[in-house]
Amino acid sequence: MGLLSDPVRRRGARPPRAAPQTALPVAWLERTMRAVGLEVHTQSFSRKLPFPDETHERYIVSGTNVYGILRAPRAASTESLVLTVPCGSDSTNSQAVGLLLALAAHFRGQIYWAKDIIFLVTEHDLLGTEAWLEAYHDVNVTGMQSSPLQGRAGAIQAAVALELSSDMVTSLDVAVEGLNGQLPNLDLLNLFQTFCQKGGLLCTLQGKLQPQDWTSLDGPLQGLQMLLLMVLRQASGRPHGSHGLFLRYRVEALTLRGINSFRQYKYDLVAVGKALEGMFRKLNHLLERLHQSFFLYLLPAISRFVSIGLYMPAAGFLLLVLGLKISSLHEAGVGLEEPGGSPGPSVPLPPAQGMGLASLVAPLLISQAMGLALYVLPVLGQHVAAQHFPVAEAEAVVLTLLAIYAAGLALPHNTHRVVSTQAPDRGWMALKLVALIYLALQLGCIALTNFSLGFLLAATMVPAAALAKPHGSRTLYAALLVLTSPAATLLGSLFLWRELQEAPLSLAEGWQLFLAALAQGVLEHHTYGALLFPLLSLGLYPCWLLFWNVLFWK
């Protein structure tokens, strides 16, 4: 994949891929689950993605989910737990299916179950999981066509997603970040960690081992590394595993990945199965939904957390900078009304408030229109672009995105022909005031729902926004503003993320990854309802354009 590949090869219409490469053996799964003693149902789903997905190589997706329900004896089927194994064409996850069937056979013979257990095998990993969840809750959030479910088991209390690459594992990696930065209750993670310790399993977070030495500088540095990785993953708003899609429906969920690396000590699936059995027995004992522990936290290590009361003031202080700037601008604006005036920082000129407000409307409308174009045009216009240029649809979308983004940079030079030249010289202060208020409101709202995204954007955009003014060295401010624009933040965080994972990228690779991330962001917004793309395009990009307008104010 890639825009730097041979364009000759991509000329011509690409036929949509309708047939999956490795289909799920539905009949065999049904028979086996029935033989184990579960109540088996299937569900079919189909979806046409807005444009072909290059990373997973799919466009028109249709598949079947298979799930078996273990009914608890002498219970009323009011609550249930879910063990899900997502199967996709890129990761067949067949070992996990085997473990699921073995666990089902073991669980079937026990009499202590008070909640039903649903064993779910999904096709096309996350798409199948979303289809199943939407059909289970009888909603239609993402436009997926899924057939209605025949068998249900009451309200789902908790879910565990399992991904295994081989039958021997050296460590179990746990993923907690979900869609739009939602996190499960910390109790679920503590439960997993307890059983890892009991079984002597090695458990990792973010793919890294736990720092052992907290007294010297190494431990805290490693912890900081893992904290930054979690912040970056949470800010991206992607569901890092099937569990991320369960969180929207307020079902606490985790993803466990078995990693087989080059370590000497390996565990077989019996150890993993024992840990899972322990987790399910503990979840079976729950009288209430998990609510006692934190829902909002950051993890420097698997056994340490930072609660919201400790990290929220950081975002608060960044927004305080904006607040102070707003009040100082307001003071300067108000002070100019009086003829004497408080000693302002610039040349006093008669302000024209009415004229100032009218001249604000044009930049605001144009910026918001650019944001709307950035949101709507790439997906709508992909076919038109693919016809006129020798690119595939996915590349057309990405290129349109970049083109509209760069076109916004040329705006100030054009809007000044639209806006009347009677705009006063101090009008830029009013525009900056409005832009700062807009930015503060947006960042405040984002920080409340997804703290990592809010903090990351605040840390990059607040200094540039506070410093933007048309006087002084314009090129320096312009460079600063471009470097802190949302797209540049995305690019920088990609590089930082790979750097923290100790797999640094070269520039070309980074650019490719950036383009893939753009395509994935748009796709995930349409398929799962991820909010990063609309937030950046409809909210932050117009705001950033306003600051660009302020910088190039004539």
Partner 1 sequence: MAAAMPLPLFLLLLLGPGGRCLAEPQRDSLREELVITPLPSGDVAATFQFRTRWDSELQREGGLSVLLKADRLFHTSYHSQAVHIRPVCRNARCTSVSWELRQTLSVVFDAFITGQGKKDWSLFRMFSRTLTEPCPLASESRVYVDITNYNQDNETLEVNPPPTTTYHDVILGTRKTYAIYDLLDTAMINNSRNLNIQLKWKRPPENEFPPVPFLHAQRYVSGYGLQKGELSTLLYNTHPYRAFPVLLLDTVPWYLRLYVHTLTITSKGKDNKPSYIHYQPAQDRLQPHLLEMLIQLPANSVTKVSIQFERALLKWTEYTPDPNHGFYVSPSVLSALVPSMVAAKPVDWEESPLFNSLFPVSDGSNYFMRLYTEPLLVNLPTPDFSMPYNVICLTCTVVAVCYGSFYNLLTRTFHIEEPRTGGLAKRLANLIRRIRGVPPL
Q: Which is nearer to partner 1, 135 or 458 (CB)?
A: 135
**Does residue 308 bind partner 1 (CB under 8 A)?**
no
Span from 70-78, 171-179, 379-387, 431-439 in contact with partner 1 (CB under 8 A)? 70-78
Taking a C-beta distance cutoff of 8 angstroms, is the pair 124, 19 a contact? no
Strand partners, 40: 68
138 binds partner 1 (CB under 8 A): yes
Residues 202-261 that bind partner 1 (CB under 8 A): 248-250
Our finding on whether 73 is near partner 1 (CB under 8 A) is yes
Site string for partner 1, 30-69 (x = CB under 8 A): -x--xx-x--------------------------------
Q: Strands of 111-220 (E only): list them.
A: 116-123, 145-146, 155-164, 168-169, 171-175, 203-205
* Candidate list 9, 12, 13, 109; residue touching partner 1; CB under 8 A: 109
Q: Closer to partner 1 at the Cβ: 105 or 480?
A: 105
CB of 133 to partner 1, least distance (A): 9
Smallest separation (angstroms) from partner 1 to the CB of 123: 23
282 contributes a contact to partner 1 by CB under 8 A: no
Nearest alpha-carbon partner for 415 in 403, 433, 398, 427: 427
For residue 283, the minimal CB distance to partner 1 (Å) is: 14
In the set 240, 266, 289, 416, which binds partner 1 (CB under 8 A)? Answer: 289
Helices 486-500 and 451-467: angle between axes, nearest 10 degrees: 130
Which of residues 5, 21, 78, 166 is near partner 1 by CB under 8 A? 78
Write down the least CB distance from residue 294 to partner 1, Å. 13
Q: Which stretch binds partner 1 (CB under 8 A): 14-22, 147-155, 389-397, 458-466?
A: 147-155
- Phi–psi pair at 77, nearest 5 degrees: 60, 40
Residue matched to tokens 């660009």: 548
Handedness of CA 54, 55, 58, 62 (dihedral sign): negative
Point out which span in 148-156, 275-283, 350-358, 396-404 binds partner 1 (CB under 8 A): 148-156
Can residue 152 be called a binding residue for partner 1 (CB under 8 A)? yes
- Shortest gap between Cβ of 279 and partner 1 (angstroms)? 20
Report the DSSP pairing between strands 304-307 and 267-268. Answer: unpaired
Q: What span, in angstroms and rounded, lies between the C-alpha atoms of 54 and 395?
A: 9
Instruction: Name the segment binding partner 1 (CB under 8 A); options: 103-111, 222-230, 311-319, 444-452.
Output: 103-111
Judged by CB under 8 A, how many residues of this single chain contact partner 1? 28
Residue whose structure tokens are 């302000």: 351
Residues with Cβ within 8 Å of 119's Cβ and at least 6 positions away in sequence, in order, are: 33, 38, 67, 68, 69, 70, 83, 84, 100, 101, 103, 104
Identify which of residues 151 and 199 has a Cβ nearer to partner 1 in the complex: 151
Which of 288, 309, 417, 418 forms a contact with partner 1 (CB under 8 A)? 288
Nearer to partner 1, 104 or 551 (CB): 104
Between 95 and 146, whose beta carbon lies closer to partner 1?
146
The closest alpha carbon to 198, from 290, 120, 260, 271, belongs to: 271
Evaluated on CA atoms 7, 8, 13, 15, the torsion sign reads negative
Say which amino acid occupies 110: Q
User: How distant, in Å, are the alpha carbons of 172, 186, 401 from that of 495?
Assistant: 26, 29, 20
Continuous segment of H or E residues that includes residue 499: helix 486-500
- The string of DSSP letters for 272-302 reads HHHHHHHHHHHHHT-SS-S-SS-SSEEEEET
CB of 109 to partner 1, least distance (A): 6
* 266 binding partner 1? (CB under 8 A): no
Q: How far apart are the first and last CA of the chain?
A: 44
Q: Does 139 bind partner 1 (CB under 8 A)?
A: yes
Copy the structure tokens of residue 80. Answer: 């249930």
Instruction: Kindly state the smallest distance separating residue 288's Cβ from partner 1, in Å.
Output: 4
Report the length, in residues, of the chain. Answer: 554
Residue 297 C-beta: closest distance to partner 1, Å: 17
Minimum CB separation of residue 463 from partner 1 in Å reads: 35
Contact positions vs partner 1 (CB under 8 A): 31, 34-35, 37, 71, 73-74, 76-79, 108-109, 111, 137-139, 151-152, 154-155, 248-250, 287-289, 291
